Structure 1
Amino acid sequence: MAHYRAPDPKREQFRRYLEKAGVVDSLTSVLVSLYEQPEKPNNALEFVKQHLNVAGQTSADSDALQQEVIDLRQRCACLVEENKDLKTRLQQYEPEDAATVD
């Protein structure tokens, strides 16, 4: 005969903490991903570690990194334009046959 025991308040509190922190969702997501793999990896623990690292990046981190990439690309484009402009201006002041002068 199975005995019913009341849930331990500490366990329930810990479970709610894990749910609130998103740990349960992340673990569930990774385990579902592992379950859905057509060919199971040889090292399931390594699979979980790799996928938890990916799941661990918050969208705020991702958004910040994407914004940084956009900013750096714009800065690079500005610097390329400035470089082109400076080269053009330099050509105006250099003698055209400077290469032939010894």
Structure 2
Amino acid sequence: MAHYRAPDPKREQFRRYLEKAGVVDSLTSVLVALYEHQDKPNNALEFVKQHLGAAGLTTEDPEALQQEVIDLRQRCAHLTEENQDLKTRLQRYEPVPEDGATAE
């Protein structure tokens, strides 16, 4: 005899969350690609990681990304400063009208 179990509301909510986030579609497409792959890889988990884009992440990657963030923030600050300087210099030659309208 088969017993029918009512779906668990928490489980259903989690399933909908995964579907909405695209996780189910991504996993399905990777698993289909693995299934259709002629020469099955020795390490199926590595195949899944590569196709999901998680392969190659090492402990050095976060450090490199942190350094890139620092560099970009410094560059942004420098460009903001330069932009403000250029605006100030431009106002000497083209003052803004008092009513806030821009001259065209």
TM-score by length of 2: 0.51
The residue type equivalent to 1:36 in the other structure is E
Residue 11 of structure 1 deviates from its aligned partner by: 0.3
Residue 25 of structure 1 deviates from its aligned partner by: 0.2
Matched, 1:53 2:53: yes
Q: In the aligned structure 2, how far is the partner of 1:20 from the partner of 1:3? A: 30
The residue type equivalent to 2:46 in the other structure is E
TM-score by length of 1: 0.52
Q: In the aligned structure 2, how far is the partner of 1:12 from the partner of 1:23? A: 15
Q: In the aligned structure 2, how far is the partner of 1:15 from the partner of 1:33? A: 22
RMSD over aligned Cα atoms: 1.0
Higher relative contact order (CA 8 A, sep 6+): 1
State how 1:72-83 maps to structure 2 within 5 Å. Answer: none
Q: In the aligned structure 1, how far is the partner of 2:18 from the partner of 2:34? A: 21
The residue type equivalent to 1:15 in the other structure is R
State how 1:18-97 maps to structure 2 within 5 Å. Answer: 18-53=18-53
Q: In the aligned structure 2, how far is the partner of 1:53 from the partner of 1:17? A: 21
Q: Which runs of 4+ in 1 moved over 3 A?
A: none
Runs of 5+ consecutive residues of structure 2 not aligned to the other structure: 55-104
Q: Which has the larger radius of gyration?
A: 1
